[in-house]
Amino acid sequence: MDLKELADLIFPDVKEISYYESKYPERNLPEGAIVTRFAPSPTGFVHVGGIMQCVINRQLTNQTNGVLLLRIEDTDQKREIENGISQIVNSVHDFGIDFDEGMINETEEKGNYGPYKQSSRGEIYRAYAKYLIEKGRAYPCFATPEELEEMRQKQESLKIRTGYYGIWAKYRNLPIENAIEKIKNGEPYIVRFKSMGREDRKIRHHDVIKGNIDFPENDQDIVIIKADGLPTYHFAHAVDDHLMRVTHVIRSDEWVSSIPLHLELFQTLGFKTPKYCHYAPILKEEDGKKRKISKRKDPEAAVSYYHEEGIPAAAVCEYLMNIGNSNFESWRRANPDKPMSEFKFELSKMSTSGAIFDTVKLLDVSKNIISKYTAEKIYTDSLEWAKRYDAELQEMLERDKDYAIKVFGIERGNVKPRKDIAKWSDIKNSILYMFDDKFEENNEEYEFQKITDKDEIKTILKEYLEKYYNPEDDKQAWFDKIKDLAESLEYAREVKEYKANPESFKGHVGDISTVLRVALTKRANTPDLYEIMQIIGKDRMEKRFAKFN
C-alpha cells in the first residue's frame, strides 16, 4: 500500500493541483506591480488598524499599477455574523477605498482569481492537502482531544515546548496500512503537515518592514485540514496567496512568529514565497504607558466612531497615512495642496514599534482638510451626516440652503480660510447664532467683557446703528466707522494708542467691537464680524440690538 492509496482514500474527488496552477496563472502586470490583499474574518467589526492597512494597500497598489483584493477568511464559522461581508465592503468604501477583486457582498465577487471566500475554496485546499499526502508531507492524525490534552499537560510538567512535534507527533509515522485501516473503520481524524524542520536550526528571514529576523525553524506538525473539512489559517494563507498570485503579504505583526511555519509551507508546496511585510499595531498612550489600541477600551478603534463623530473619511485616511509612514508629514508640509495619492508610500518607512494614535492630531488634520473645502461641500457633507445623526442640524441646514451656504462661506475663499471645524458634530454649535430661533433659545451666560455698564452698552449699540452702520460699506470702511464710534465715545481708535496712555481713554476699539459682537451673537469668539453682519442684515441686527434698549 502506498501514499497514493491513502491520499485517494482521504480525498477521493479532488482535482490535480496542476489544474489550479493553470487556472490561476501568473498575473500579467507591469514590473514592480504589487498584488496584495485585505483578508479579514467576517465578524462585522472593522478595526481602525484594518482601515490603515487598506489605506496603505490602496496607495501601494495604485502607485505600482498593482491589484488590491478582498479575501474573506471565514474558516472559523463560529465567529461569523450576518451581512458581515457587506459590512466590511461598505465600511472600507466609506473611506473612499474599493477593491479591484474579491467579494462585493455576501455572495457575489469580481475577479479571475476566486472564489475569494475561503469557505467556497474547500476543494482547492483539499487538492493541495492531497498533494502533500502523496508527497509524504501530510498525514492523517487520529489523536483525540483527550489525548492531545494529556500530551500538553505532560509537556507542561516537563517544562518543554508544547505542541505536536518530534517524538510527540504520535501519528506522524503510523504505517500507511494502519492509517488506511483506521479510516476505513470510521475513526475520526484530521490532516496534519509533516514538518522537516528542526528547532535547533536557525533561519534568517528578511521582512520588508522589520528587516532581518532570525528564527528557529518550524518543527510543528500543524493541522492543515480540520475535522469540518476546512483548512486552518496557515494552510489557507499559503494556498490562497500563492494561487491569487499575491506578491506582498502586508499584515499585522501578530503573525511574525508564524513566519518559519509559513516559509516551510510555501517551500514544501513548491510555491514562491511572497514578500512579508509585518507592521506594528496602532498604539494608544495611557498614563504614560503604551498599549495596543483596543476594541474594548478605545472608541476610536471602531470605524463607526468616525462616522458618528462626523470626521471626514479623507481626514481619517490622511491621518492614518501620517502614522503609517514617518515621512508623510514632511511631504505634506512641502506639498500642502497635493492630493494624498501623489505621496509615495514606502513600506520600509513604516514604524516597527507601533505608531501612537493621537486624537488631537487627527482633529488637527481634519481641520486642515475641512478648511480647504468649499462652503458648498461643507454644506453637502455636513447635511449628509446630519441626516443620520442630528435631526435638528438637518432642519437648520435644509430650511434655507443658500443662507446656510453663506454661513459656511464666512472666512472661506480668497482670504486665509478658517480652521475651526474638525468634525460635523461640531458644526451645529458653531453656527447656532446665525439662526434667529436658536439665537433666541440660547440661554447660556454671556458677557460683554470689559464694558459692563448697561447704559454704556445701550449707547454703543444705538449709536452704531443710527450713525455708523451702513450695509454698503466694504470691510475697510466698516472698520473705520467702528473706530469713529470708539473715538466719539472716548475710546482709543487703536489698541496701541490705548496701551501707551490708558488713563486717557475709557477703553479701545476692541472693547467696542466686542460689545457689537456679543450683542449680535451672544459669543465673544466668532469668525469675522463684518461677514457675520453682512449675512445677518440690518433688520435682524436691529432686532437683536433692541433687546438691550
Query: At its nearest, how many Å lie between ligand GLU and the CB of residue 353?
Result: 20
- Cα torsion 515, 521, 523, 525: sign: negative
Residue of 316, 270, 29 lying closest to 131 (CA atoms): 270
Alpha-carbon distance of 201 to 181, in angstroms, equals: 36
Residue at shortest CB range from ligand GLU: 251
73 binds ligand GLU (CB under 6 A): yes
Query: At its nearest, how many Å lie between ligand GLU and the CB of residue 41?
Result: 5
Among 251, 423, 428, 517, binds ligand GLU (CB under 6 A): 251
Alpha-carbon distance of 408 to 424, in angstroms, equals: 12
Query: At its nearest, how many Å lie between ligand GLU and the CB of residue 251?
Result: 3
Beta carbon nearer to ligand GLU, 274 or 312: 274
Cβ proximity of 306 and 316 under 8 Å: yes
Q: Which stretch binds ligand GLU (CB under 6 A): 37-45, 60-68, 301-309, 316-324?
A: 37-45
- Amino acid (one-letter) located at 533: M
Q: Is 369 helix (H, G, I), strand (E, B) or coil?
A: helix
Query: At its nearest, how many Å lie between ligand GLU and the CB of residue 40?
Result: 5
Beta bridge mates, 286: 289
Q: DSSP secondary structure string, 274-292?
A: PEEEEEPPPEEEETTEEEE
41 binds ligand GLU (CB under 6 A): yes
- The 3-class SS string of 228-251 reads CCCECHHHHHHHHHHHCCCCEEEE
Q: Which stretch binds ligand GLU (CB under 6 A): 14-22, 33-41, 196-204, 375-383?
A: 33-41
Give the list of residues 6+ apart from residue 54 with CB closer than 8 angstroms, or none. 38, 68, 92, 95, 97
Q: Which stretch binds ligand GLU (CB under 6 A): 36-44, 281-289, 330-338, 424-432?
A: 36-44
Among 35, 39, 132, 407, binds ligand GLU (CB under 6 A): 39
Among 6, 17, 35, 40, binds ligand GLU (CB under 6 A): 40
Query: At its nearest, how many Å lie between ligand GLU and the CB of residue 312?
Result: 27
Q: Which stretch binds ligand GLU (CB under 6 A): 34-42, 203-211, 343-351, 486-494?
A: 34-42
Cβ proximity of 382 and 426 under 8 Å: no
Alpha-carbon distance of 506 to 476, in angstroms, equals: 24
Burial zone of 520 (CB within 10 Å; 0-12 exposed, 13-18 middle, 19+ buried)? buried
Applying CB under 6 A, what is the total number of residues that bind ligand GLU?
A: 6
Q: Which stretch binds ligand GLU (CB under 6 A): 23-31, 35-43, 216-224, 409-417?
A: 35-43
Beta carbon nearer to ligand GLU, 59 or 526: 59
47 binds ligand GLU (CB under 6 A): no
Buried b (16+ CB within 10 A) or exposed e, 250-286: bbbbebbebbbbbbbbbebbebebbbbbbbbbbbbee
Beta carbon nearer to ligand GLU, 231 or 507: 231
Query: At its nearest, how many Å lie between ligand GLU and the CB of residue 439?
Result: 51
Beta carbon nearer to ligand GLU, 38 or 343: 38
x/- mask, ligand GLU, residues 224-243, rule CB under 6 A, reads -------------x------
Prior bond of 115 cis (ω within 30°): yes
Binding site for ligand GLU (CB under 6 A): 39-41, 73, 237, 251
